[in-house]
Structure 1
């Protein structure tokens, strides 16, 4: 799109911003979205945008985004194409983003959780195997494991640990995912690999009840995996 923002613009998750009033509507990413929509300088405003500025953005930004034509993020196992406030400025301050996900046979969405956003997953084609792990107020964990097919809708609550994979070996899996945040998905994503690498190996080994040597093969580089493939 002609009004895409630079990739180095900061992002801020504003899940509850509108409900909190004009004072909470700001943030670097929202300012960046408004700036791009108004074709102004690409610097972040020094003051928080007002509610009227957010409303004005809805009238001067394009309301159309060609999602499946967007430049994809390519991973080992699939692709991710997203519409969020950095590349679709009309979403700035609207608490919404959408992603088209394609997993090739063997593809896995890295186990992860979103600290400040829930997601709705509409299954377009293929078969997905899902696992969701929630909290345990009764003293026991509840793990929900199931398959989802074309036409199904899966809700992953905010903060729930979850993942899905392509359950078929002969066809891709395609989903449309909607988040209640305007920021890019990776700005509100904590993956399994990063989580394991945030702790010392001896601590992880103690929790798992295995020797430290058993963890030697785990990659030490902390980076988003997002989509991988079964080996």
Structure 2
């Protein structure tokens, strides 16, 4: 007997969210919504509480399409530099806005509000589960030796002593 919802319906709003210090994330992907198997697609609902930040990251195998459901999101997107200069855009997206991030572009967004949460719906052209297709800034920085980082940033190695050393994904954090 099949579930009364049918195979094409997924209760995203009722699914168990993954909790983080700055908000939560719940998603539909081929692991929990079998009809997506082989479709190269997934969708996530994400909430950032006041002060919440989606860790700066990039997706090596997917583009990202984000729709603002509630609140305002402050974005930065950094892309390739075919003309010799990095292409960086900073903007605020509001309810009803749609933001596209090309595959491989470094980006982040945060809750730009001071009183209300930010809710977004994010669609990917991959079945890979979040955060399995993310390469975050914390993991990226910590994958490099401290002496190399010091040279790149032009600071003494001792200036980096307070940085955390983990390489696990943070996904959603918050201002301290």
Which TM bucket (shorter chain)? over 0.9
The alignment status of 1:217 with 2:154, answered yes or no, reads no
Q: Deviations over 1:105-124 (max 9, x none)?
A: 00000000000100100000
The alignment status of 1:175 with 2:123, answered yes or no, reads no
The alignment status of 1:136 with 2:68, answered yes or no, reads no
Give the CA RMSD over aligned residues.
Answer: 1.3
Give 1:187 deviation, angstroms: 1.5
Match of 2:138 in 1: 193
* Partners of 1:86 and 1:183 within 8 A in 2: no
Q: Quick one: higher RCO (CA 8 Å, sep 6+), 1 or 2?
A: 2
Provide the TM-score with structure 1 as the length reference: 0.73
Query: Which aligned pairs between 1:1-231 and structure 2 lie closer than 5 A?
Result: 62-231=7-176
Q: Distance in 2 between matches of 1:210 and 1:180?
A: 39
Provide the TM-score with structure 2 as the length reference: 0.96
The alignment covers a number of residue pairs equal to: 173
Give 1:68 deviation, angstroms: 1.4
Q: What 5-or-longer segments of structure 2 have no aligned partner?
A: none
Q: What 5-or-longer segments of structure 1 have no aligned partner?
A: 4-60
Q: Distance in 1 between matches of 2:69 and 2:48?
A: 12
Report the 3-state secondary structure (helix = DSSP H, G, I; strand = E; otherwise coil) of the residue aligned with 2:131.
helix
Kindly indicate which of the two structures has a greater share of residues assigned to strand.
Answer: 2
* Partners of 1:108 and 1:164 within 8 A in 2: yes
Report the 3-state secondary structure (helix = DSSP H, G, I; strand = E; otherwise coil) of the residue aligned with 1:99.
strand
Structure 1 moving runs of 4+ over 6 Å: none
Kindly indicate which of the two structures has a greater share of residues assigned to helix.
Answer: 1
